[in-house]
Amino acid sequence: MTETTPATTWLTQEAFDRLQAELDHLSGEGRLEIARKIEAAREEGDLRENGGYHAAKEEQGKQEARIRQLRDLLERAQVGEAPPDDGVVEPGMVVTATVAGDEMTFLLGSREVAGGDIDVYSPTSPLGAAINGRSVGDTTSYAAPNGRQIEVRITAARPYAG
């Protein structure tokens, strides 16, 4: 069996700082807030029928999962400037492409980088892997889950500006 390592995630310094601040809050004050909620709900009595207690414990579980996700992401992050504006598709680029006849615009990268309302495709997704390293004007294809080949024509690629 081959061991795989998680992919590096490209982040701007601003995105890295924003995620680090979120991690610092969640693992510090955020944990204290959840502990206070759990303690307050515990004081209300029977835990089996205490909706507030169960909601606080569920919130705690979600928060701990987010802390693990952020730690992993930040450990794998490559911080740097946006890629060059040279028309080559790579993580950190906003790509406009005709996919199966429909024009789409999306960020190739991590959802954590995108703070706005832009769709995001991972460089390891079928579409992302097919276009990564290609240039404006190139046509390529990738296999859909049903086995059908989806044609992609890259019409624009520019660095993501946030």
> What domains are there in the chain, each with its CATH number?
9-79 (1.10.287.180), 93-159 (3.10.50.30)
Percentage of the chain lying above the pLDDT 90 cut: 42
- CA–CA gap between residue 92 and residue 89 (Å, rounded): 9
Q: Per residue in 72-104, pLDDT tens?
A: 888 887 777 667 678 889 888 899 999 999 999
Q: What is the pLDDT of residues 136-161, one digit of tens each?
A: 999 999 998 898 999 999 999 988 77
Is residue 3 over pLDDT 50?
A: no
Split at pLDDT 50, 70, 90, the class of 135 is very high
pLDDT at 115 over 70: no
The predicted structure's pLDDT at residue 7: 62
pTM (predicted TM-score): 0.59
For the stretch 11-41, pLDDT in tens is 777 778 888 999 999 999 999 999 998 888 8
CA 103 → CA 42, 56, 66, 140, 162, distances in Å? Answer: 54, 44, 33, 15, 21
Residue 8 and residue 77 in contact, taking contact as beta carbons nearer than 8 Å: yes
